[in-house]
Amino acid sequence: MSRIVQHRITTATDTVRSGLDDLLREVRIGLDAADQRHLLRRLYDPANGGTGLLPLLAEVLTAASVAVGEWQPHHEATVEALDEAAAYVADSAGQRINTARNLLTRPAAQDWPAPEQAYAKAPSTISEVGWTAQAAADRPFGTEGTREFWLRKAALLDRIALTDEHVDEPGDASDASEAADRAARRLMDVDDAAVICDPRHYVRQQYALWTTHQ
């Protein structure tokens, strides 16, 4: 029976290793803001009862500790070491990952680029109006827009609002600003970014990062 069990363990761990190799390749290619938060949530998500890869690994360690305690009851030190390892993975490592995910939405003040910096490489607003309109028209009915769509749309509306905010028509400027704010918040929803900063500042930061990696 032991060889059968060991074979199943080997097969399972090889599958996990293969999945982690795939994950490592994705991370090394590069992750944008939304991808970063998605990765960390898949590793540890306290909002859904502590789900994710780390809590599951902690359960495996805890189960191993129980097995040792049942089959070799005099190995108290082994049981204690496994329990500590499980607690570290589920609590210490998990909470640190959660902290890292939260901190991603709290950049330092110098991380907010000025509009001139953020949109230095941006196409003309007329070009972007055409792009967003075409992207919206090409999107299959009932499907969500891509992150690129929401980012470029939010950046476009921010640029329009910045121009309108310099005119003497306060009503028009307010309408443009409200549209820019709504689009910026939509992008933050897509990125699952906590609303703890000016949404339009967030758009400029993410647009600058996006253009840098194009």
What average pLDDT does range 167-187 have in this prediction? 77
> Three-state SS across 128-139?
HHHHHHHHHHHC
pTM of the predicted model as reported, rounded to 2 decimal places = 0.56
Q: Considering only 83-97, 126-140, 150-164, which range has the smallest mean pLDDT?
A: 83-97
Q: Domain locations in the chain?
A: 31-103, 109-212
In contact, 102 and 194? CB cutoff 8 Å: yes
Q: Which residue has the higher pLDDT, 1 or 4?
A: 4
Q: Which residue has the higher pLDDT, 119 or 40?
A: 119
Distance CA 143, CA 110 (A): 36
pLDDT over threshold 70, residue 176? yes
Report residue 55 as tokens.
Answer: 């809590």
pLDDT tens for residues 16-75?
999 999 999 988 888 877 788 888 888 888 777 678 888 888 889 899 999 988 888 888
Picking from 105, 95, 91, 96, the residue whose alpha carbon sits closest to that of residue 37 is 105
pLDDT tens for residues 102-114?
766 665 556 688 9
